[in-house]
Amino acid sequence: MAAPTAPSTQLSSITLTWKEDPSAGPIPAHVYFPSATQNNDSHPIALLFHAGGFVLGTTDMIPKNQIANLVARGFVVVTPEYRLCPQVSLSDGPIRDAKEVYQWTQSALPALLLSQENPIKVDPSRIVAMGHSAGGQLALTTGLCPNPPRAIVDFYGCKYLDDESWTKPLPMFAAIPDQPQDFISKIYDGPQAITSLPMFVDGKPALSDPRCAWYIQQLKNGTSISSIVPDGDFARVDATKHFSASFPPTYFLHGGDADVFVNYRLSVRAHEELKGLGVETELVIGEEVGHVFDLIIQDTDPLFVKYVVPALDFLERHV
């Protein structure tokens, strides 16, 4: 299943509803697969979770070159939307959705794909999970599910959510004036959100959007995690609280000090903890890269070859 650095496989995709929510309505999962596939080919599945601090974003943020690379290796790639905080808490929203969409991928997706006009056969016993930033925590969360994934890749993921680093205001937002409370409170209006603008639009903070303004306010105040874990029960929302010797093989990729959003020492800590439990784990620290560096590079970029490809290799080796 080896893939070239810049795979030429043509992609096809379909969108399926993986969950119906009373407020959000139908929640979609986007499924990517080779345009030319043989009916007797049984594909492993890669489940990918997007970034956004559990508050922002959409599956559109997941780099298409990473999806294409995985499809070229033989994977069927699933990118689910999930309910965004703070209309729902981290426990009741993103964490619950991560567990439920993993179960859906195992139990419901295979039959749905076989029922398509051009049937696609997948092997639900060969699932891997991967996530970026907040999505890294969601990928780790699947490792706690029954019949967990064969491997997990965590790109600069949010973890150890009770670590003091999450309570420190981010200096990069210090100069931004506090936003009017009645404006940022509009984040609670309307139906439950499952997609949003990214934090930055055209290189600038998207302060005209109440959701983005609310989240930037939390980062500025050092409350980005406490505001979405209102009961303070971090054991309910943090997979690192439940690491054990049976946890799946896990690969951590993180920038060094250049990552100002998630402290790289949290990935070091997770790697060391899993290693101490006898779990297969790898850690790569990229001193020259920052947070979400891979969301803006091409697959021909040396940084893609140096950092992204080995992480995808890890997933391939375990299916």
**What integer pLDDT is reported at residue 3 of this predicted model?**
45
User: Domain residue spans in the chain?
Assistant: 11-167+224-317
Residue 237: what residue type? V
- The residues near 170 (Cβ < 8 Å, ≥ 6 apart) are 219, 220, 222, 260, 261
249 neighbors 152 (Cβ within 8 angstroms): yes
Structure-block tokens of residue 264: 């790289």
Q: Over the stretch 236-267, which tens digit does the pLDDT of each residue have?
A: 999 999 999 999 999 999 999 999 999 999 99
With cut-offs at 50, 70 and 90, classify the pLDDT of residue 316.
very high
User: Is 39 a residue whose pLDDT tops 90?
Assistant: no
CATH for 11-167+224-317 is 3.40.50.1820
pLDDT of residue 62: 98
User: Can you tell me the distance from the alpha carbon of 143 to that of 150, in angstroms, rounded to the nearest whole number?
Assistant: 9
pLDDT on residue 5: 42
